[in-house]
Structure formats: C-alpha cells, structure tokens
DNA sequence: CCCGGCGCTGACAACGTTGTCCAGCAGTTA
DNA sequence: TAACTGCTGGACAACGTTGTCAGCGCCGGG
C-alpha cells in the first residue's frame, strides 16, 4: 500500500487508548483539506455552504472536539484565569469565587481555582502551576507576604490582581475592603453604647486584614481616650478551640470585658456559641463581628456586623483584571471598598449597670 | 552574524509582548542541548551535576517556566479535572468543591470549575469547554436530564462521575445522598410528634433530588395512613419570594398545616424567616429541613435537619473518579450515602392542642 | 478570446515540549 | 592497541492546531 495521501494518519499503527479524532481525521472523512476544517470549526468565512455541511457531518460522525491544548499552544492565549484563595469552603469566598467566575464567563474565559489553606508555600506552588498552564491572569488572595516570585510572570504579561490583602514586596493591583475603618466604626459603636472594656478576638496577626482590624480597634479606643489591657486582645488561628478559650478568659477575668469585637466571620460564629452557652444569670455581653453572615439577623439578639460585600470584592478585582488584559496601562492601583455597619441588637446591648461608671 | 546555530529563534525578529523564554533559550544560554534542559526540568536521570547546575542557573536567570500547554499536547494527559456544579456561592457546594480539590491535589491535578446556574444549556456548554481543554476527568452535578452529549467524550476516555443527581439517559458513575430515605425519616419524625397536616416545600420538581424528597414525603404520609392535600405540597424555584408566598398560604389556610418539611437549605432558611415574622400569639409550627446549615443549632428553637455531608459527597466522587483514571474498570456504579436526622427542637414541637385529634 | 480578479481551498511551517535514537567519550579488558 | 561497555548529551520527529501564502477555477469585461 503506497502512502499516497500524506495526510492520513498511517504513521502510528496502534492508536493508544483515549485517542481522539483530530482535524486531520475530519478532513480525510469529509474529503477536504485540514485548513478548511479549521475554518469551519472556528466559524471563519470563506467556506461554501456545501463544503461546510460535509465537514459538519464528519465532525458529528466522528465525535470530533477541538483540542484546546494545541490551540492554546499555537495562539498563546489560554482564555482562562486562575483564582487562588484561602479556602473555598469558607462562606466568605464562595460568593467571591462565583463573582470572579461570572466576570470571566462574560469574557469567554474559564476559571481555575485552588485553595492555599493560608500556607504561603502552597500559595506559591499553586500560583506557579497556574502560570505554567499559562493562565492569562491571576486573582490572588495572598497567604504569604513575599510575592517577588511573581516578578518574572508579571513581566511576561500575566495580569495579576490581589484581593482582600495587598501584595507583599512587589507592586501590583489590589482590591481591598476597608478593614481599618470598619473596625474603628465597630468599636466606636460599642463605645457609643457605653462600653469601656472591649475585647478584640482576631485572626493571625500576620494576616494583613487581621492587623488592620486590630489597628482599627486600637484607633477607636485611643480616640475615646480608653486604655487597652493586654488581656483584652487575643490574636491567633481561628479554630473554635482557641477562640473559645480566649473568649472565655476575657469573660471570666477579674475585670471582665463587657463587649467583644470579633475579627472575622469564623470568630464571630464561635463567639456566638460561647455566649449562648453561658449560664443564664450572666449579664449579656455586647458583640460586633466583622463580616456579615447568613442568619445573623435571626439569632436573638441579632448580631451586629461590619458587612463587606465579598461578591463585590471579587467582581471589582475581576473587572480590573480584564481591563488590564484588554490593554489598560498605568501604575498599579489599590482600590478600597467601603464597609457598612449593620446594627441588629447584639452591638447595642448596654454594659451591665455596675460597670457603666 | 551568520545563523550558524539553527536552534536560535532568529526567524521571528520581533518577539510579541508576553513572549517567554523557552527551553531552547535556556539550552542556548547554558550551552547544552534542548533535551538536556528537558531532563533537568523533569528531574530525569542522566545529567552530570555540573551540567545540571549550569542549566538551573540559566533557568533562574531567564525566569523560565515550562509551558504546560505544550507538555499537555505532547503527553496527552492534562493533570486537571473539571467540576461543574450549580452555584459555587451556595454553602452546600463550597465544602463539596473543596473536598474535590483536595483529592485532586493529592493526585497532582488542578481543578477547573464552573457554575451551571441550574441551566442545562450552560451545563453542556461548560462541560464541552472542559472536554475541549482535555481535562482527564469530570465531576458533574447535573442540571439537565440528558447527558447523551457526553457519550463521545466518555468513549474517548474522559472519566466522569455524577454527584448529587444521577446522569440522564446515559450510563455513568454517580454518588448520591439518600434523598428519599432522608425525607421519609424527616416526615415520619414529624408524624411521630403528633402532626397530621404536614406541608412540603420543595425545589423544582424536575430536579432529581427534589423529586426524591417529595417521594419520601408521600411515602411517610402513606405509611402513616395520612392523606395529602394538594394545598400542602408546593414545588418550584427556591427564591425567597416564592417560598415565602407558598409557606404563608399553607399556614393561613382554613385548615393550616401544623408542620413543614423544607426540601433544601435555601428553602429552610426562608421558612425560618417566615416563621420568625409571624405575630406572637400564633401557635408554633414544627419544621424539619433537608440539609444542615451553620448556626441551625443556635436559633430558637434549634432547627431539626436531615444532614448530608456535602464534603463527603465530593470526596467520594473524586476518589471514584481517580480510581477510574487509574484504570479501575467495571460497570458504572451508583453509590448512595446515608443521611442523618439531627433533632434540635424545631422538629419536636407538638401540634397545637386543638388539631391533635 | 484572453486576462485580471475574486472566492474558495489546501500545503506547509510553527507553537514548545517530550520520546526515540544515535553519537561521542572515558574507562576497562584482552 | 583495539574492541567493548556504560553513560552523557544532542538531533529530530511528533503532538494538533492556526496563520501565511499560493493555486485553482470561474466570471465578467475588454
């Protein structure tokens, strides 16, 4: 058998399992050239209706599906963006992720995402894996504080936007919520309702937002001329055990706090549990939490929170990312979205009469 | 300058923006052959320590990062799997997604995910886009009822596992929760506490789990010899407006229901709101919800639920997927995970005295 | 009748990587 | 000294697609 048609795939006698028809196969079956198939698949003009029909028939008959890996290799753009966040299971990140996905979808891009679990090494590993995949852009909720490893990638044109926390040691776009201002408002709110001994329960102090929220706490206390005792401030991992212990310690101290400010939604939920478990005669403790959460209004009392719109955070970041991808130049920008205090009852509880003075 | 080395990229005089160094560039800089760079990058044996060092230096100096698109094209495997679900922002899917991601990570694979928004066309579009990317496998929470479009893909070796709902008109692996049994338990629980007129508030009846839960409701009522009035059953979209209207109608009817069974977490939350807003003298209405949700224990009364472990669902599905990818054969399997009734108070409320008879 | 132009089609190279295969070289043995 | 072995390194093709460019047939005008 003479190999007259060099186009036929006769070089590989045994097709390995999982092999799929290619444009070459479609072309052979339809009796047209390779490029014509490509034109049909991509909806390019310049193909006779009759030819197009023949090609379409061959495509469906063979179950052909374009191999985007090859396309990407050829075109250089992947039409996909990467999202690296802390934990997809955290209700704060679900809406954010979904918002990023919607924007990506509007731009015809797919979303690849991964959870860093708040581990800088894992963040870097993920980000670099995404870069190896040649994502067009990255949305990163950073876990680490040094992102210089991204310099070659950004220089090569990978658009990058940081969310929730700024980039470390590198100049990049960032979209943040006003953690400092929101926290100051929260604590000022408690002070306005008569509290003087206010506890702060925060996340690991290395996390930017956690540090900012602590700063806001101190600012509000300072502005009111109130002292801050070391025992009133606790930062660390947000696992229920630690938060529970810290909250209990503050509540059972000789001079107990009369109000608590919880630094994020995980902490707030645990604090709500701790307060709910207190023996009945205990004086009610005021509480304001950073981050809104579902059902906060249905608890009794309703939980007063500083709300930040995580979906809006994601949408803003993704919009900025695609503007960069569309060629928008200029220096890196830092956008700060406002927060909003939602009073629901728990933050408006007055301190017990004995400690008002 | 004579172009003695045919390897140098001198054919493209102007490198387009965003171009990156390739192995060829690294090889040229290190003064070695292309394949040697490949060997170093992939940690293959057969390279002198000295040569390896030279190559590594060139890699860091140029900021080289392997182009996985090319690698994928060559190797045929992408080391990535796709996850198509309904809505990433739904708290039910966050843990599921995270669980799938963890399993993927353990197998060195990346996760690409997309939300179908419960739209079959969008599901298909997403799934086929993922197939074009040549994901190794798919985890799908189906929105549609006809997945024959997947036949060519599955024949070509794309491992596919359906989750939460079975595949439509095609034979495929599936991991489900016991919606029927769980619902029957829920309704039987209410009956055991004296209720006779029990309302069912469910999702769109076209959704498999919704239909199963309705079936469980009917089964429990039948087994207790209780009649079911049309007015006690309402199915449809789970947006708060519809659920609110349906629940209100059941509660304000001439012969009002004394207990409600809510078909999923979205519905339950809305029902909790409706019940909370009822004027004070109204008799308390019992409630059991399908799906557990955060803080269900802190409401008063606590909300009795049928819990299904969405993370376990995802983990099980992903495990099965990778077993298939590792070559596990055999007929498609359908795994059903048990549900668990968690009594917290709302399901144990007795009916008002007047209607017990 | 011839020629220019246009519309459609296909051959070919290139994208960056990996697998195959062979060449070169140093060390060992007859 | 020649042959042989084992190991390192490099040339080349192939993965499936798209961009470039050239060719072919046909039509209308000169």
pLDDT in tens, B337-347: 999 999 999 99
B78-177+311-338 and B179-308+341-355: same fold? yes
Q: How would you classify residue B136: left for phi > 0, otherwise alpha for psi between -120 and 50, otherwise beta?
A: alpha
pLDDT for B16 equals: 38
pLDDT in tens, B254-290: 999 999 999 999 999 999 999 999 987 788 999 999 9
State the average pLDDT over residues A6-23: 50
Mean pLDDT (chain A) is 91
Of the candidates A16, A69, A98, the beta carbon closest to that of B88 is on: A98
Task: Count CB neighbours of A11 within 10 A.
Answer: 7
Residue B330 has pLDDT above 70, yes or no: yes
pLDDT in tens, B129-140: 999 999 999 999
Alpha helix stretches (DSSP H) within chain A: 23-30, 34-41, 49-62, 68-75, 93-106, 120-132, 151-155, 179-192, 208-223, 240-252, 265-276, 310-325
Shortest CA to C1' contact from A71: nucleotide: D17
Task: Answer yes or no: do A132 and B18 touch at CB < 8 A.
Answer: no
pLDDT for A282 equals: 80
* Residue B357's pLDDT band (cuts 50, 70, 90): very low
Mean pLDDT (chain B) is 91
> Which positions in chain A touch B72 (Cβ < 8 Å)?
69
C-alpha–C-alpha distance, residues A158 and A34, integer Å: 32
Mapped onto helix, strand or coil, the DSSP state of residue B136 is coil
State the average pLDDT over residues B168-176: 96
* Residue A45's pLDDT band (cuts 50, 70, 90): confident
CATH class as words, domain B179-308+341-355: alpha beta
pLDDT for B46 equals: 84
pLDDT for A7 equals: 32
Residue B115 has pLDDT above 90, yes or no: yes
Shortest CA to C1' contact from B71: nucleotide: C17
State the average pLDDT over residues A253-268: 95
A 25-64: CB within 7 Å of strand D: 34-35, 38, 41-42, 64
pLDDT for A18 equals: 56
> Which positions in chain B touch A152 (Cβ < 8 Å)?
63, 65
Residue A138 has pLDDT above 70, yes or no: yes
Residue B300 has pLDDT above 60, yes or no: yes
The fold for domain A23-66 equals 434 Repressor (Amino-terminal Domain) (1.10.260)
Task: Protein contacts on strand D: list nucleotides below 7 Å from a Cβ.
Answer: 7-20
What Cα–Cα distance (Å) separates residue B221 from each residue in A48, B189, B199, B282?
Answer: 64, 11, 11, 25
State the average pLDDT over residues B35-47: 90
Statement: the CB of B46 is under 7 Å from strand D: yes
Q: Collect all residues with Cβ–Cβ distance below 8 Å to B68 and sequence separation of at least 6.
A: A132, A133, A134
How far does the CA of B73 sit from the C1' of C17, in Å?
Answer: 8
pLDDT for B181 equals: 98
pLDDT for B354 equals: 67
Mapped onto helix, strand or coil, the DSSP state of residue A259 is strand
A34 closest CA partner among A21, A48, A43, A22: A22
* Residue B352 per-residue DSSP state: P
Q: Collect all residues with Cβ–Cβ distance below 8 Å to A192 and sequence separation of at least 6.
A: none
Mapped onto helix, strand or coil, the DSSP state of residue B271 is helix
Share of chain A above pLDDT 90, in %: 87
Mapped onto helix, strand or coil, the DSSP state of residue A180 is helix
B79 closest CA partner among B70, B94, B68: B68
pLDDT in tens, A162-188: 999 999 999 999 999 999 999 999 999
- At B38, give phi and psi (nearest 5°): -55, -45
pLDDT in tens, B228-256: 999 999 999 999 999 999 999 999 999 99
Residue B4 has pLDDT above 50, yes or no: no
CATH class as words, domain B78-177+311-338: alpha beta
Residue B9 has pLDDT above 50, yes or no: no
Statement: the CB of A311 is under 7 Å from strand C: no
pLDDT in tens, A224-254: 999 999 999 999 999 999 999 999 999 999 9
Share of chain A above pLDDT 70, in %: 94
pLDDT in tens, A313-344: 999 999 999 999 988 889 999 999 999 999 99
pLDDT in tens, A48-63: 999 999 999 999 999 9
pLDDT for A354 equals: 66
Alpha helix stretches (DSSP H) within chain B: 23-30, 34-41, 49-62, 68-75, 93-106, 120-132, 151-155, 179-192, 208-223, 240-252, 265-277, 310-325
For chain B, give every domain's residue range: 23-66, 78-177+311-338, 179-308+341-355
C-alpha–C-alpha distance, residues A199 and A217, integer Å: 9
Two structure tokens written together for A55: 């090609």
pLDDT for B227 equals: 96
Question: Best interface-test mutation with B: which of A15, A22, A41, A65 has the largest number of B CBs within 10 A?
Answer: A65
Pick the residue from chain B with its C-alpha nearest to A59. Answer: B152
Statement: the CB of A26 is under 7 Å from strand C: no
Shortest CA to C1' contact from B74: nucleotide: D15
Question: Best interface-test mutation with A: which of B26, B65, B86, B100 has the largest number of A CBs within 10 A?
Answer: B65
Pick the residue from chain A with its C-alpha nearest to B80. Answer: A112
CATH class as words, domain A79-177+311-326: alpha beta
Pick the residue from chain B with its C-alpha nearest to A265. Answer: B294
Residue B85 has pLDDT above 50, yes or no: yes
Q: Which residue is nearest to nucleotide C15 (CA to C1')?
A: A74
Residue B356 has pLDDT above 70, yes or no: no
> Which positions in chain A touch B152 (Cβ < 8 Å)?
63, 65
* Residue B202's pLDDT band (cuts 50, 70, 90): very high
Of the candidates A114, A130, A132, the beta carbon closest to that of B66 is on: A132
What Cα–Cα distance (Å) separates residue A336 from each residue in A175, A176, A180, A309, A321?
Answer: 6, 5, 11, 12, 16
Cβ A80 vs Cβ B132: under 8 Å: no
pLDDT for A10 equals: 31
Superfamily name with CATH number, domain A179-307+341-355? Response regulator (3.40.50.2300)
Of the candidates B95, B115, B134, the beta carbon closest to that of A98 is on: B115
B88 closest CA partner among A121, A159, A85, A269: A85
> What does the CA dihedral A321, A327, A330, A331 come to, rounded to 10 degrees?
40
Q: List B115's β-bridge partners, or say none.
A: B85
Residue B15 has pLDDT above 60, yes or no: no
Cβ A81 vs Cβ A112: under 8 Å: yes
Cβ A27 vs Cβ A37: under 8 Å: yes
């Amino acid at each position: 058998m003479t190999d007259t048609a060099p186009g036929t795939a006769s070089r590989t006698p045994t097709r390995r399992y999982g092999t799929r028809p290619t444009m070459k196969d479609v072309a052979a079956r339809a009796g047209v050239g390779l490029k014509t198939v490509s034109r049909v698949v991509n909806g390019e003009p310049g193909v006779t209706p009759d030819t197009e029909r023949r090609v379409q028939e061959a495509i469906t008959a063979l179950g052909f599906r374009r191999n985007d890996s090859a396309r990407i290799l050829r075109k250089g753009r992947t039409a996909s963006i990467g999202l690296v966040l802390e934990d997809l299971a955290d209700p704060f990140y679900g809406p954010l992720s979904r918002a990023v996905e919607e924007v990506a979808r509007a731009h015809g891009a797919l979303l690849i995402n991964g959870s860093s679990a708040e581990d800088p090494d894992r963040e870097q590993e993920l980000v670099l894996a995404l870069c190896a995949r040649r994502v067009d852009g990255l949305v990163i909720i950073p876990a680490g504080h040094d992102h210089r490893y991204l310099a070659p990638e950004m220089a090569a044109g990978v658009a990058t936007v940081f969310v929730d926390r700024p980039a470390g040691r590198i100049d990049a776009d960032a979209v943040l919520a006003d953690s400092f201002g929101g926290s100051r408002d929260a604590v000022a709110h408690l002070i306005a309702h008569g509290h003087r001994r206010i506890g702060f329960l925060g996340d690991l102090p290395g996390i930017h937002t956690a540090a900012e929220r602590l700063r806001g706490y101190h600012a509000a206390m300072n502005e009111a001329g109130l002292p801050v005792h070391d025992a009133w401030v606790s930062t660390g991992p947000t696992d229920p055990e630690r938060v529970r212990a810290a909250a209990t310690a503050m509540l059972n101290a000789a001079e107990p706090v009369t109000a608590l400010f919880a630094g994020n939604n995980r902490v707030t939920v645990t604090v709500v549990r701790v307060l709910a478990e207190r023996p009945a005669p205990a004086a009610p403790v005021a509480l304001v939490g950073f981050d809104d959460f579902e059902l906060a209004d249905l608890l009794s009392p309703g939980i007063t929170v500083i709300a930040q719109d995580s979906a809006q955070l994601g949408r803003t970041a993704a919009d900025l990312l695609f503007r960069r991808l569309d060629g928008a130049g200029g220096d890196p920008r830092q956008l700060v979205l406002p927060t909003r205090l939602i009073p629901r009852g728990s933050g408006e509880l007055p301190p017990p009469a004995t400690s008002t003075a």
